[in-house]
Homo-oligomer: A and B are copies of this chain.
């Protein structure tokens, strides 16, 4: 079973990496880029075959390791 996790910075948290991308795009001549936010994307291959159990396990992984819940949100897709 595959899990796809997006870890993104919460609104209001400064994103220097996103700002660096935005400035680099402007320097390359791409106009009209109003904002850039960079997050992480993690794909997991799980041995678990039960969707509910897999989602619960990944949720725990996100809370314990994959995200910093003080400043980040996470979003899980299982398929």
Contact = CB atoms under 8 A, between A and B. Distances in A.
Interface string A38-55: 111111111110000000
A36 B58 CA distance: 12
A74 to B, nearest CB: 11
The quantity of this chain's copies bound in the complex is: 2
A14 interface: no
A12 interface: no
A61 B32 CA distance: 12
A5 B40 CA distance: 11
A9 to B, nearest CB: 10
Contact of A61 (B25, B35, B41, B46): B25
A24 interface: yes
